[in-house]
Structure formats: structure tokens, C-alpha cells
Amino acid sequence: MPSHDSRLAADQRQAGGRDAAQRQASRRRAGERDAGVRKVSRVTWWAGTVGAACSVMIATGFAEHASAASGSSGTGGTHAEHTRRTQDGQGTIVIPNQPPSPAAGQGQVNSGAS
């Protein structure tokens, strides 16, 4: 039968082997975590770049639409611009002399009234 000291030494060797295995597993998990963080970081930067490029394209489209809608005078322009120019003659906005009067009857709606 082995002595108490030899059993203690064997237990310590086993514990040392377990500690080494735990350290190795811990290093492996840390490496996997770092690889995951790098992947998420790459995807995040890629998504941000694509989003910025799409924003520029949308802003350019709106700018071109706004300049086309306000910049045409003369014979060209859209159907709505042509209709507006022919209706009032000058293509300007006509402001009425007084505001519209309130409607008569129960059709009037007061927000929050009871």
C-alpha cells in the first residue's frame, strides 16, 4: 500500500496537470473571444461605411430633385410647374387678404374639448 506522502505527491501532480489544462483552455477561449471581437469590429466598420455611402447617395438624390424642382423657369419644367405658372400667370404664390372664416355648424372640431 502506498504511503500517505506518495499519494499526496500523486494528487499534486494531477492537480498541476489540471491547472495546466485549465490555463491552456483559458488561453484558447481568450483567443476565440478576441477573434470574435475582431470579426464584430470588421462587420461594424463595414456597415458604417455602407451606411455613410448610402446617406451620401440619398442626399445627392434629394439635392438634385430640389434643384430641378426650383431651378426651372421658362418653357421647361414639370407638369405641376407648368400648371402653376399658367394658373396665376407669374408662377408666384398668392396670399389672401384675410384668413378663412370658421365653418358653421357641428363640423367644427376642437382638439381636447369635451
pLDDT tens digit string along 61-99? 888 877 776 655 445 555 555 555 555 455 567 777 877
Q: Is residue 78 part of a domain?
A: no
Residue 20 has pLDDT above 90, yes or no: no
Q: Is residue 103 part of a domain?
A: no
C-beta of residue 91 within 8 angstroms of C-beta of residue 109: no
Q: Which residue has the cell 408666384?
A: 92
Percent of the chain with pLDDT over 70: 53
Q: Please tell me which residue, 18 or 83, carries the higher pLDDT value.
A: 18
Q: Is residue 101 part of a domain?
A: no
Q: What are phi and psi of 51, to 5 degrees?
A: -60, -40
Number of domains in the chain: 1
> What's this model's pTM, rounded to 2 decimal places?
0.37
* Residues 6+ positions from 73 with CB-CB distance below 8 Å: 91
Domain that holds residue 57: 4-70
Residue 104 has pLDDT above 50, yes or no: yes
Residue 88's pLDDT is 47
Q: What is the phi-psi region of residue 98: left when phi exceeds 0, alpha when psi lies from -120 to 50, beta otherwise? A: beta
